[in-house]
Amino acid sequence: MGYTVIDATAVEPRDGLSGDHYYLDDAVDLDRLSVQLVEADPGESFAPYHSHRESEEVFYVLDGHLHVETPDEEYVVAGGEWFAVEPGHPLRPFNPADAEGTVRALLLNAKLDDFDPYEPDR
């Protein structure tokens, strides 16, 4: 990889994901780290309810308020705040339908294939 400067406008969102996910991984060959700019309009989520077996997940909210549903409570994370999730802890990050605007956040996690869907009723 060496050194790379990336024009953020040159990174296209990936298809098939809820919200918009702009993967830095698509512009630079990162081996162990996944970095995404994620955006969700009111009523959209970034991902379905899920957990990671080994990967830690961290959000840094740039704009708006990120809502995170967990089995025990719902967190509201404001712009300028961080939200960290340990492996094995389920979550659903989203922007509620009654939100005033788009939520934008940076999402960082290990580049592992350890995504597990979570069913709240189990």
Reduced to 3 states, what is the DSSP secondary structure of residue 114?
coil
Q: Is pLDDT of 122 > 70?
A: no
Look at residue 64 in the predicted model and tell me its pLDDT.
97
Q: Is pLDDT of 94 > 90?
A: yes
Look at residue 32 in the predicted model and tell me its pLDDT.
87
The pTM score is 0.87
How do the domains of the chain map onto residue ranges?
19-117
Look at residue 44 in the predicted model and tell me its pLDDT.
94
**Any residues with CB less than 8 A from the CB of 87 and at least 6 apart, and which?**
51, 52, 53, 54, 55, 56, 114
pLDDT tens for 53-91 read 999 999 999 999 999 999 999 999 999 999 999 999 999
Q: Is pLDDT of 2 > 90?
A: no
Look at residue 31 in the predicted model and tell me its pLDDT.
84
Residue, of 2 and 66, whose pLDDT is higher: 66
- In which residue are the tokens 């189990």 written? 122
Q: Which amino acid is at 34?
A: S
CATH architecture of 19-117: Sandwich (2.60)
**Average model confidence (pLDDT) for the chain?**
90
